[in-house]
Amino acid sequence: MFLFIDNDLLKIGKRFGNTVIQDISELSNTAKALNIKIVIISVPTHASSRIANLLVSSGVKAILNFAPSMITVPEGVKLRNADPCTELECLTYFLNNVANVRVDRDVLAEV
């Protein structure tokens, strides 16, 4: 199950796939009602701590944070901070090295 919650009035009520985007004011009630335990945060820096605290108080036990800021959570809540720029850098490095390995294998196959 996926939920999308936003504070942008132009997005609230619209569909994203099969899911209707809900108002941020419904976050706590929705998380509790659906017994949501894992969430992904992708919000501006200024909102990340407030959203994380709201989620934790709603019973969330694991957060994947894509916000461009480090947040803290209480003991008992699992947090992973992910920096999309660093992840893209790692993927680029991987692609460059895989390309080199493939070329080397092709050369070895010809010998």
pLDDT tens string, the chain, 111 residues long: the values are 678 888 889 999 999 888 899 998 998 999 999 999 999 998 888 989 999 999 999 999 999 999 888 899 999 999 999 888 888 888 888 888 865 555 455 554 554
| 34, 19 contact by CB (below 8 A) | no
Give the list of residues 6+ apart from residue 25 with CB closer than 8 angstroms, or none: none
Q: Is 3.40.50.720 the CATH number for 5-83?
A: yes
The C-alpha atoms of residue 70 and residue 75 are separated, in whole angstroms, by 16
- What are the CA-CA distances from residue 95 to residues 26, 58, 90 (Å)? 41, 40, 9
The amino acid at 49: S
The C-alpha atoms of residue 104 and residue 44 are separated, in whole angstroms, by 44
